[in-house]
A and B are shown apart, each in its own frame.
Chain A
Amino acid sequence: MSAVVAVPRRLQFAIDKLGVLIAAIATVASFLPFAAFRANRIVLGESKSIFAALPAWEATLLVLALFAAIAIALFRTPTLWRLWTSLVVLAILFIAVGHAASFLTPEGDRIARVSPGAGFWLLIFAFALLAADAIARLKLRPWTRIGALVGVAIFFAVLLGSGTLNDLSILREYFNRGDTFWREAQTHLALALGSLAAATVAGIPIGILCHRSDALRAPVLNVLNAIQTVPSIALFGLLIAPLAWVAANIPSASALGISGIGAAPAMVALFAYSLLPVVANTVVGLDNVPPAANDAAKGMGMTDRQRLLTVEFPLAFPVILTGIRIVLVQNIGLATIAALIGGGGFGVFVFQGVGQTAMDLVLLGAVPTVALAFAAAVVLDSIVEMVSPKDMRRD
C-alpha cells in the first residue's frame, strides 16, 4: 500500500518545466509597471506598479491570486486545473486593469489617459501560454473549441458592456470615434469576406480545370504563386494606375464606384492573393481522391459531371476548406494595408495612430484585427476537423 501512495505524492511535487518559465515571466512582470498614466494623450507616461495602480485591498487580492496561480503552474498539476487557473487569472487581470484605469483617472477628467503597462501585457502573455499549453494537451473536440471561443467572446462583451474598462485609453479613443469605428469594421469585413467569396467562386472551377489539364496546371499555379509573392502594398499600388484608367475611360465603371484609389484596388488585390490557396488546395484535394473511389463511380456508370459533384468534390472538400481558412486569416490581416490607399478598414486607425504616435489608436485598429483573425482561425480549423474523415485528422 505504502508504495502506491508514495508514487503520486512524489509526482505532486514534481516541478513542471513550462511552469518554471511561466513562473519566471509572471514574477518579473509583477514588478514591472502594471499601468501607465498620462496627463494627456501625447505626453510621456508615468509608470504605476500594481500597488500604485489599484486600491490597497484590490492590489493585495491580485498579488495573492497571482501567487496561487504561479504555484499551480510551477508544480505538476492536472491539466484541467491549469486551464481553469489560467482563464480565471486572465479574467481577473482584465478586470483589474479596468479598475486601475478608474482608480488612476482623477474624477471627471476627460483628458488623462491610462493604458495597460508592460507588466500587464507580460502577465497576460504568461497566463495565455499556460492556457495554450493546457488546451493543446487536452486536445479539445471541435465543438468544445468553438464553445470556448463563444464563452471568451461573451466574457469580453459583458466586460465591455458593464463599463468596467471604460476609463482605459483604448476605449477613450473608441468613444471619440464610435461611428467611424463601426463603419471601418464593416469595410474591413466587406473587403476580407467579399474577396474571399469572389476567390472561392472563381478559384474552385480554375482548380478543377487545372486538376484535369496538365498543360494548364504548372503555368496557372506559377503565375498565382508569383502574385502571392508580390508585397501587398506594391500590388495595391500597381493596381491604382490600371483602375484609374478604367474609371476614366469606361463610362459606367466610375458609376459602379470603381476608381484608382479606395476600395476597388484593395478588393482586386485581395482577390488576386486569395486565388492561390483556393486553386492550389482544390488541385491537391482532387489529386488525393483515392483512384478506387473514382473507378467505382465510373463502373457504376456515372457521368463525368455526376462523378465530380457526388464523389470527387465531397472527398476533396476538407482540403479545399483548409485553403479557404488560409485565405480568410490572410485577408483579415492584409485588409489592414488597404487603408494606405484609401480603402478603409481597421488599418485606418493603425496608420493614423502610427502617424500621431498614439499607441492607443494603433491598438484600436490592431486589437479587433487580431481578434477577428484569431476567431476565424479557431472556427475554420474546427469546421475543417469536423468535415474531415476520421483517419485524415491531425493527431
Chain B
Amino acid sequence: MSIGLIIRLVVLALLVAFIVTPESFAFVFQPLTRNGQPAIYTQNSLLNLTLSHLTIVAIATIAATLVAVGLAILVTRPFGAEFLPLSRSIANIGQTFPPVAVLALAVPVLGFGTAPTLVALFLYGLLPIFENALTGLTTLPPTVTEAARGVGMTDRQRLLDVELPLATPVILAGIRLSVVISVATATIGSTVAASTLGEVIIAGLLSNNLAFVAQGGLVVGVMAVLIYDALSALERILMARTGQRREIS
C-alpha cells in the first residue's frame, strides 16, 4: 500500500467517524466556541444531512449524465449535425452563469426546499458533461473509426462498442467536474431550505458560532476532495484499460 492511499483511508475513516459520532470530537471544536455555545451542531443529525447531501448530488449527476451524453450522441450523428455549432456555444455560454444564480432563479419557479436545488444542480451539471462528451465523441482517432467501419460494423455497433468506450474517460472527467460543482452548489442549497450540510455552516454564520462553521466546512471540504480523488483514480484506471494517454483538463 502506498503512503498516499493510507493517508486517504485514514482521512476517510476520520470523516466517517465524525459524521456518525460527532459528539466524541467535541473537544476539537470547543476552543472555537464563545460564551458556552454548543460545540457540535445537534438540531439535525450530521449523518442524515450528509446522506441527504450525497443523495441530492447523486440524483442530479445521474440525471445530468444520462441527458448530457444522450444529447451529445444525438448532435454527433448525421441527423443532429445541424445542432452541433449551437450546442457547443450553449455549453460554453452556459458555464459563464454562476451556479448560485441558477439556484436562486429556480426558487421562484419551484418554491423552497430540495426541488430547486435538485433542478439547479441538474441544469448546471449538464454543461461540463455535455462539453466533455462532445470533445470525447468528436476527437476520436480517425484510424479507429475507419477501422470499425472497415470491418463492417453498423452505426449502432460503432457507437456502442467503439466510440462510447473510447470517449468514456473524457466523459468521466466531465462528470467529475460536474460532481465537484454539485457538492458545492448543494451546500449553498441550504439557503433555500434544502437539507444539506450547508445548514451547519449557515447556522454557524447566523449564530456567530465558529465551531459550527468549521465542522460544516471541514465535512463538506474533505468529502469533496475525497470524491474528486476517487473519480480521478477511476479515470486513470479506465484510461489505462482503453490504452489511451490523453491529457485531461
Contact = CB atoms under 8 A, between A and B. Distances in A.
Interface of A: 16-18, 129, 132-133, 135-137, 225-226, 229-235, 237-238, 240-241, 244, 260-261, 329, 332-334, 336-337, 340-341, 347, 350-351, 353-354, 357, 359, 362-363, 365-366, 369-370, 373-374, 376-377
B228 A132 contact: no
A377 B105 CA distance: 21
B226 to A, nearest CB: 9
A210 B216 CA distance: 33
B214 A362 contact: no
Interface stretch (B13-21, B81-89, B154-162, B163-171): B81-89
A234 B213 CA distance: 8
Interface in B162-221: 180, 183-185, 187-188, 191-192, 198, 201-202, 204-205, 210, 213-214, 216-218, 220-221
Interface of B: 32, 80, 82-83, 85-86, 88-90, 92-93, 95-101, 104-105, 107-108, 112, 180, 183-185, 187-188, 191-192, 198, 201-202, 204-205, 210, 213-214, 216-218, 220-221, 224-225, 228
Chain B interface main SS type: helix
A132 B86 contact: yes
Contact of A230 (B95, B188, B205, B224): B224
18 contacts: A17-B83, A18-B82, A136-B88, A136-B89, A230-B225, A234-B218, A234-B220, A237-B213, A238-B218, A260-B210, A333-B97, A333-B101, A336-B101, A354-B107, A362-B107, A370-B97, A376-B96, A377-B96
Contact of A17 (B82, B180, B205, B228): B82
A292 B191 CA distance: 55
A260 B25 CA distance: 24
Contact of B98 (A18, A234, A332, A362): A332
Given A333-B101, A350-B101, A351-B191, A244 B107 contact: no
Please report whether the interface of chain A is mostly helix, strand, loop or mixed according to DSSP: helix
A260 B214 CA distance: 13
Contacts of B97: 333, 370, 373
Given A234-B216, A340-B202, A354-B192, A333 B99 contact: yes
Closest 6 CB pairs of A and B: A333-B98, A231-B184, A234-B217, A136-B85, A230-B221, A237-B213
A94 to B, nearest CB: 18
A287 B177 CA distance: 24
Given A132-B90, A354-B107, 12 more contacts: A129-B90, A132-B86, A133-B89, A226-B225, A229-B180, A233-B217, A234-B216, A237-B205, A241-B214, A340-B205, A374-B96, A377-B96
Contact of B85 (A137, A234, A341, A366): A137
Most A CB contacts (10 A, CB to CB) among B82, B205, B213 go to B213
B21 to A, nearest CB: 21
A150 to B, nearest CB: 18
Contact of B188 (A226, A229, A337, A365): A337
Contacts of A232: 184, 188
Nearest to B80: A17
A16 B198 CA distance: 46
A229 B112 CA distance: 27
A354 B90 CA distance: 27
A214 B39 CA distance: 43
B198 A354 contact: no
B83 A231 contact: no
Contacts of A341: 205
B77 to A, nearest CB: 12
Contact of B213 (A129, A240, A347): A240
Given A233-B187, A362-B104, A373 B228 contact: no
A241 B215 CA distance: 12
Contacts of A237: 201, 204-205, 213-214, 216-217
Contacts of A17: 80, 82-83
Contact of A340 (B80, B183, B184, B191): B191
A224 to B, nearest CB: 12
Nearest to A359: B108
A359 to B, nearest CB: 4
A234 B196 CA distance: 13
Contacts of B82: 16-18
A229 B224 contact: yes
A83 to B, nearest CB: 13
Contacts of A359: 107-108
A261 B201 CA distance: 13
A225 B249 CA distance: 11
A137 B188 CA distance: 37
